A and B are shown apart, each in its own frame.
Chain A
Amino acid sequence: MLELTLQAIYTGLLSGGFYALVAVGLALIFGTMKVINLAHGELVLLAAYVAYATESKLGLNPLLALPIAMAVVVSAALLTYFLTNHIKKDRELNSLILTFGLGIILTNSLLMVFSANIYSTSTEWFFEGVVIGDTLFSMRSELLAFVVGVLSLGGLYWWLNHTWHGRAIRAVSSNLDAAKLMGMNPKQAEMWSWGVAGILATLAGCMLYTTSVIHPPIGHGLTIKAFIITVLAGMGSIPGVLVGAFLIAIIESLTATFFQSSLSELASMGIFLVVLIVLPSGLFGNKRIH
């Protein structure tokens, strides 16, 4: 029983690292410009399909797809930003419609190009088991996704605190007029946050392809998961994203282990509601990006 619980928590912890990686790009953009990018999950999925194409057509390890996927996804993210930037009125609200529509276009483009088939990696290295302390089991790919997720969030945290572009993003998210008075160009800060969100989505997409199966409709589900974690974190908080992602993933994993996996989404939604009732501004609420 104890072993089973520990295993469930361990599995949840590992997928939490991946969830955080999916969610943090959405949180970053929201923190900078109060825009919720509803096409974020689709951008993650786009990267996963680039990894699939690289593996199946070129016969390369899907991780080698990273540079190509990054170019594709960052371009798509920047294109989304430029379209969002053309919204003249009520950008916060109208961008929801715009990005939701772009998500649908992306999903259907993937459907057109890659069909509705389900794909997963054929590189065996990823499925091999790793056992820790004789009891905790995972696939190599799950451990890799966790490490990449945690390192990416750490890297992002460092970037926001120690580089001028990162600081500008924090300043713009904290007080727009004050940021302008420091000589910051808000448009440039926004562009950087979309570019970096694109890079994070690429990493998440490649991890998604190596740990799981992909087909066109899951992009939407990823967006919802990212959105829930962002809200749970307290909009814009990066440590909050990590904690929120672990919470959601561990609840899901425990539910799947002790009840059934079809209830896991319900359980995480239940926790989400409870947290919002108790802490309406999220776990790390009222703090912007930091």
Chain B
Amino acid sequence: MLEVMNLSAGYGAMEVFWDLSLKFEGGKTTTIVGPNGAGKSTLLKTIMGLITPMSGDVLLRNESCLNAETWQRINEGLVLIPEGRLLFGDLSVEENLIMGAYPKNSRKSLENNKENVFNLFPRLKERRNQISSTLSGGEAQMLAIGRGLMEEPKICLIDEPSLGLSPVMTHEIFSIFRELKEDKLTIVLVEQNTNQALKIADHVYLMQAGRVALSEKRENIDLKKLEDFYFARN
């Protein structure tokens, strides 16, 4: 469904990752775990076209999408739910959600989807007229997720969804992801909360310092072994 081949990218002259190759199967949930600075978010931004790679290729349904602009990739159903910071800070909560319905295919069901998002996150409904830059970290995160769902993704990249959320809220968000997974959505989940992320994963990548340190099916993962890798205890 989505594949990254020998990809290298970074900011300016500084490379963040080198020669990465990952495969994300359709209808499956792939989790990328790894410590801060491993290059996980940069990888997602490069897949979306927000960062131009230095070399390598990104394949969407077996075709290179490097020449497609970010907005063209969105129209192919590729959606990134960024960390809570990438909101329209001077617009209200509701306006942020409406912007999410911009892709042509999702405009028709704007009202429906908005109601769904408000049902998932009643807090957003309470604060629908509030300017989004004044939201708390957790609320901003909910809004980023809600806005991403408004886009009706087919392949959904999710960057650190649990960041800044309470354990209860984290649990709730993961139950939403589980529902999306049951709807056969292709999910690429970047998470530092390894425990939660592993529970819904079909395949797990561990990234460290710009490289893939481990690639395993979920059922072959031993949490102890993963933690050893994570903390480089070998």
A171 to B102, CA, bound (A): 10
Contact residues in A for B79 (Cβ distance below 8 Å)? 181
> A215 an interface residue at 8 Å Cβ cutoff?
no
Contact assessment for A180 and B71 in the assembled complex, using a CB-CB cutoff below 8 Å = yes
Interface assignment of B86: CB less than 8 Å from any CB of chain A: yes
- Judged by a CB distance under 8 angstroms, whether A182 is at the interface is yes
CA distance A179 to B89 in the complex (A): 12
How far apart are the CA atoms of A182 and B99 in the complex, in Å? 7
A167→B102 contact, CB < 8 A = yes
- How far is the CB of B27 from the nearest CB of chain A, in Å? 22
Instruction: Give the chain B neighbours of A180 by CB distance below 8 A.
Output: 48-50, 69-71
**Residues A182 and B90 in contact, CB atoms below 8 Å apart:** no
- Contact B71–A170 (Cβ < 8 Å): no
Question: How far is B110's CA from A167's CA once the two chains are assembled, in angstroms?
Answer: 14
A181 near B74 with CB under 8 A, answer: yes
B146 in the interface, Cβ–Cβ < 8 Å? Answer: no
Q: How far is the CB of A289 from chain B (nearest CB, A)?
A: 9
Question: Within the assembled complex, what's the spacing in Å between the Cα atoms of A288 and B131?
Answer: 13
Residues A175 and B102 in contact, CB atoms below 8 Å apart: no
Interchain CA distance A186-B48 in the complex, whole Å: 15
Q: Quick one: closest B residue to A288, CB to CB?
A: B90
- B48 — nearest CB in chain A belongs to which residue? A181
B177: CB under 8 A from chain A? no
- Residues of chain B contacted by A177 (CB below 8 angstroms): 50, 82, 86
Q: Does B98 contact A (CB under 8 A)?
A: yes
CB contact between B91 and one of A164, A174, A181 (< 8 Å): that residue: A174
B91 touches A290 (CB 8 A): yes
Q: Counting CB contacts under 8 A, is A287 at the interface? A: yes
At the interface, yes or no: A178 with Cβ under 8 Å from chain B? yes
Closest to B87 in A: A178
A168 contacts the other chain (Cβ, under 8 Å)?
A: yes
B34 near A: Cβ within 8 Å? no
Q: Which B residues are in CB contact (< 8 Å) with A167? A: 98-99, 102
CA–CA, A287 and B75, complex, Å: 30
Tell whether B174 is near chain A: CB-to-CB under 8 Å. no
Q: Inside 8 A of A183's CB, which chain B residues have their CB?
A: 70-71, 74-75, 102-103, 151
Closest Cβ neighbor of B70 among chain A residues: A180
Number of A-B contacts (CB under 8 A): 68
Q: Mark B23-50, 1 if CB is under 8 A from A, else 0.
A: 0000000000000000000000000111
| B53 interface residue per 8 A CB criterion | no
Instruction: Please measure, in the bound complex, the distance between the C-alpha atom of A175 and the C-alpha atom of B87, giving whole angstroms.
Output: 7
**Is B18 close to A, CB under 8 A?**
no
**Cβ-defined contact, A184 with B91, below 8 A:** no
Alpha-carbon distance between A164 and B75 when the two chains are bound, in angstroms: 15
CB contacts (< 8 Å) of A182 on chain B: these are 74, 99-100, 102-103, 147, 151
CB distance from A231 to the nearest CB of B (A): 18
B90 and A181 within 8 A (CB)? no
Q: Are B151 and A178 in contact (CB under 8 A)?
A: no
Is residue B218 within 8 Å, beta carbon to beta carbon, of the partner chain? no
Does B88 count as interface, using CB distance less than 8 angstroms? yes
Q: Which of B89-106 contact A (CB under 8 A)?
A: 89-91, 95, 98-100, 102-103
Chain B residues, CB < 8 A from A184: 71, 102
B36-68, CB < 8 A from A: 48-50
User: Closest CB-CB distance, B155 to chain A, in whole Å?
Assistant: 13
Q: Which of A213-232 contact B (CB under 8 A)?
A: none
Bound state CA distance, A183 and B87, in angstroms? 14
- Is the CB of A123 closer than 8 A to any CB of chain B? no
Distance in angstroms between the alpha carbons of A113 and B151 in the assembled complex: 52
Q: Does A185 contact B (CB under 8 A)?
A: yes
Determine the residue in chain B with the shortest Cβ distance to A181. Answer: B80
Instruction: State A59–B95 Cα separation when bound (angstroms).
Output: 48
A-B contact pairs, 26 of them (CB 8 A): A164-B102, A167-B98, A167-B102, A168-B102, A170-B88, A170-B91, A170-B95, A171-B88, A174-B88, A175-B86, A175-B88, A175-B89, A177-B82, A177-B86, A180-B49, A180-B50, A180-B69, A181-B79, A181-B80, A181-B82, A182-B99, A182-B100, A182-B102, A183-B71, A183-B75, A184-B102
4 closest Cβ pairs, A-B complex? A183-B74, A180-B70, A183-B103, A174-B88
Given contacts A164-B107, A177-B86, A182-B151, 13 further A-B contacts (CB under 8 A): A167-B102, A168-B102, A175-B87, A178-B88, A180-B48, A180-B69, A180-B71, A181-B79, A182-B103, A183-B102, A183-B151, A286-B90, A290-B90
